[in-house]
């Protein structure tokens, strides 16, 4: 294992401190927690927006804290759900009386712990609603997950729910656009190599030198198939066609595209992949409204990528375009 | 070699097409070139700003094209200077009568080829000025370089010169702030592993499993020392102290900090490093005005990082803070 760390058992705390130190005017680290929260302007009465999950997916989730996006992010241990008490601390920190909305990726531990936190908050009179993101079309049920996994599409949920909350939307309105985003987002990924959890000290899985895995999860959960590495064009086709087959995309539909790197993939390769994805969409007369290429939802230093399509309507376009000051998603 | 590509000899063209396809409303790919240029609003008379260099450093340089930053970027083959005719095409594309400014990283081929392009432009009556960025304090002279290498500090030059040009600065004024930025920026990097040039098919160098290299260049050029991997805190100290020792940073000075990933380093590790860099600066009463953490100047899938400090004055602060619509540096 080659990593720039101090102590394999303390990477999350060191990271949280390092994030807070990068943006001291915008972020506060809640004492004795793994919660980072936005420094609210006093008197704000907006709905609070909280997300989080296991660490190792940076910039998810703390990179999405900022005006127009999240109000707080909870970092669990690497690839491990945050505990309910930590999520509860985040909820309390961002509640301004208008309620708090939770964006949860579909992993059994995350769903359980965020729901327990919501119950704790409810007992203290804080209104909490949530959405579970399950955009990964690769497999039904998986390690850690019942149903489909939540992956890079989650970032679109942060953006769109965040814009609605920032615009003064009610808790129900924020929930409604978040649910619409989940219903309209589909993703699929692939990997060339594994990341290494610091405390484990070795890669989570092994792929041969000529092998890739299609449909892999962001914790290295098994995908659909291991096979010989294909060309970028073939990978683009396989991922995009699977995504397109899963939802009723019709000619003339408008979509947002996210070409996401999983941690160690050079941006050059993401753009090469993007070229083919755009061609495939054009061939089906699906109009691309906006494209995002970069690392949005990673898996430590996994080499690989995912393709996300979000079907848009006028409301989603407007919310996607709204300003955001989150360091990892400035608009 | 495991890469998401189609043809190892065609990665740059495929990438340039993929970048253009991602931002069709903002960028145009000049036919039969490796030049991407901003779609100017008609009638603009600003100074044109051009940068570029070998590919493999993405998001440098095309990711910095946008309102408030570059007007065009020239992509050479991987780790290879673009030819003078390509740079000349970029100059012609962005000249609006106010002249064109070139930001060149200090590599012998880049300097030579950008200067030759400037001469070609001059012969056609286009005023061209340039700056050579040499922020890397690691070594004097190196493979491909006479003097110090230009690395991540170049991105600050793009930002600041770009803001000055956008604000209507003359060619001389743009040159003056670019020179001030170069004079005030210092960087140093380290690596845990090498990237692989696609056409070469194997890593550019080898480091043992317990080894790192301090002071390495963004093409894998030799650094100062190979030694056992140190902790993040020790790495932060070594890089930061070298940078601080090179320029007259005094208590009370304000700086911008860039913690740059070289391609395969998880953002978690960059933030861990940042925590210590901020501590070191605070201990010296150097005030951090703004911090940037992410991948800004990479070396394919090299694992490693660099630390850049830019000493600020009121003019540089204002230009650093000016709006930018470049996808890789939105402000």
Stated pTM of the model: 0.97
**B266/A58 touch (CB, cutoff 8 Å), yes or no:** yes
The pLDDT, as a whole number, for residue A317 is 98
How large is the average pLDDT for residues B62-78?
97
Residue B172's Cβ-side half-sphere holds a number of Cα atoms within 13 Å equal to 0
How large is the average pLDDT for residues B187-206?
96
Least confident stretch, A235-239, B41-45, B179-183 = B41-45
Contacts of residue B19 in chain A, CB cutoff 8 Å?
271, 274
**B5/A231 touch (CB, cutoff 8 Å), yes or no:** yes
Instruction: Select from A272, A303, A305 the Cβ nearest to the Cβ of B11.
Output: A272
What does the alpha-carbon distance between residue B267 and residue B196 come to, in Å, rounded to a whole number?
21
Spatial CA neighbour of A17 closest among A25, A6, A4, A28: A28
The pLDDT, as a whole number, for residue A253 is 94
CA-to-CA separations, A144 to A108, A148, A303, in angstroms, rounded: 6, 10, 21
How large is the average pLDDT for residues B159-179?
98
A18 vs chain B: nearest CA distance in angstroms? 4
**B22/A293 touch (CB, cutoff 8 Å), yes or no:** yes
Asked if B23 is an interface residue toward chain A (Cβ–Cβ < 8 A), one would say: yes
The phi and psi torsions of A163 (rounded to 5 degrees) equal -65, -40
> Which token pair is A115?
């729901």
Q: Are A239 and A276 in contact (CB under 8 A)?
A: no
pLDDT in tens, A103-152: 999 999 999 999 999 999 999 999 999 999 999 999 988 888 889 999 99
The pLDDT, as a whole number, for residue B308 is 98
Looking at the predicted structure, is the pLDDT value of residue B43 above 70? no
B202 vs chain A: nearest CA distance in angstroms? 12
Element (H, E) at B87: helix B84-94
Looking at the predicted structure, is the pLDDT value of residue B40 above 90? no
Looking at the predicted structure, is the pLDDT value of residue B149 above 80? yes
pLDDT in tens, A53-108: 999 999 999 999 999 999 999 999 999 999 999 999 999 999 999 999 999 999 99
**A18/B275 touch (CB, cutoff 8 Å), yes or no:** yes
Asked if A80 is an interface residue toward chain B (Cβ–Cβ < 8 A), one would say: no
CA-to-CA separations, B191 to A16, A57, A200, B264, in angstroms, rounded: 23, 22, 22, 10
Asked if A270 is an interface residue toward chain B (Cβ–Cβ < 8 A), one would say: yes
DSSP structural state of residue B41? P
Give the position of tokens 């860039």: B258
What does the alpha-carbon distance between residue A191 and residue A261 come to, in Å, rounded to a whole number?
10
Residue A225's Cβ-side half-sphere holds a number of Cα atoms within 13 Å equal to 7
pLDDT in tens, B247-300: 888 889 999 999 999 999 999 999 999 999 999 999 999 999 999 999 999 999
B296 vs chain A: nearest CA distance in angstroms? 11
> Taking CB atoms and an 8 Å cut-off, how many pairs form between chains A and B?
177
The pLDDT, as a whole number, for residue B145 is 86
Strand-pairing partners, residue B28, are B37
Give the position of tokens 């100290």: B237
Contacts of residue B201 in chain A, CB cutoff 8 Å?
none
**B2/A275 touch (CB, cutoff 8 Å), yes or no:** no
Which chain B residue shows the shortest CA-CA distance from A328? B294
The pLDDT, as a whole number, for residue A247 is 87
pLDDT band at B241 (very low <50, low <70, confident <90, very high): very high
Query: Quick one: how far is CA B279 from the chain centroid?
Result: 25
Contacts of residue B266 in chain A, CB cutoff 8 Å?
3, 56, 58, 195, 263, 298, 300-301
Least confident stretch, A95-104, B39-48, B85-94, B318-327 = B39-48
Which chain B residue shows the shortest CA-CA distance from A193? B2
**A23/B330 touch (CB, cutoff 8 Å), yes or no:** no
pLDDT band at B141 (very low <50, low <70, confident <90, very high): confident
Q: Which residues of A are catalytic?
A: 57, 219
Q: Which of residues 118-157 of B touch A (CB under 8 A)?
A: none
Q: Which of residues 178-217 of B touch A (CB under 8 A)?
A: 192-193, 195, 209, 212
Q: Is B29 a catalytic residue?
A: no
Looking at the predicted structure, is the pLDDT value of residue B42 above 80? no
Looking at the predicted structure, is the pLDDT value of residue A161 above 80? yes
> Which token pair is B280?
């070191």
The pLDDT, as a whole number, for residue A142 is 84
pLDDT band at B165 (very low <50, low <70, confident <90, very high): very high
Looking at the predicted structure, is the pLDDT value of residue B85 above 90? yes
């Amino acid at each position: 294992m080659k990593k720039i760390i101090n102590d394999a058992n303390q990477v999350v705390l060191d990271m949280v401190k390092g994030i807070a130190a990068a943006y001291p005017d915008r972020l506060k680290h809640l004492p004795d927690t793994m919660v980072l929260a936005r420094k609210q302007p006093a008197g704000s009465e907006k709905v609070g927006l909280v997300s989080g999950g296991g660490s190792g997916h940076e910039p998810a989730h703390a990179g999405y804290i900022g005006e127009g996006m999240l109000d707080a992010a909870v970092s669990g241990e690497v690839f491990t759900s945050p505990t309910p008490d930590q999520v509860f601390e985040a909820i309390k920190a961002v509640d301004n009386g208008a309620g708090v909305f939770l964006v949860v990726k579909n992993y059994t531990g995350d769903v359980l712990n965020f729901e327990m936190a919501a119950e704790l908050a409810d007992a203290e009179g804080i209104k909490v609603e949530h959405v579970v993101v399950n955009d990964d079309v690769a497999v039904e049920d998986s390690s850690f997950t019942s149903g489909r996994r939540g992956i890079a599409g989650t970032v679109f949920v942060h953006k769109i729910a965040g814009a609605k909350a920032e615009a003064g939307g009610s808790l129900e309105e924020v929930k409604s656009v978040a649910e619409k985003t989940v219903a309209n987002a589909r993703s699929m990924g692939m990997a060339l190599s594994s990341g290494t959890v610091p405390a484990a000290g070795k890669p989570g899985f092994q792929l041969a030198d000529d092998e890739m895995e299609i449909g892999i999860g962001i914790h290295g959960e098994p995908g659909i198939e291991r096979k010989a590495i294909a060309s970028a064009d073939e990978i683009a086709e396989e991922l995009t066609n699977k995504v397109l087959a899963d939802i009723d995309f019709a000619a003339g539909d408008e979509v947002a595209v996210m070409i996401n790197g999983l941690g160690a993939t050079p941006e050059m390769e993401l753009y090469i992949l993007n070229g083919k994805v755009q061609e495939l969409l054009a061939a089906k007369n699906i109009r691309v409204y906006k494209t995002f290429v970069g690392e949005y939802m990673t898996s430590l230093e996994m080499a690989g990528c995912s393709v996300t399509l979000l079907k848009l309507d006028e409301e989603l376009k407007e919310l996607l375009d709204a300003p955001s000051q989150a360091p990892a998603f400035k608009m």
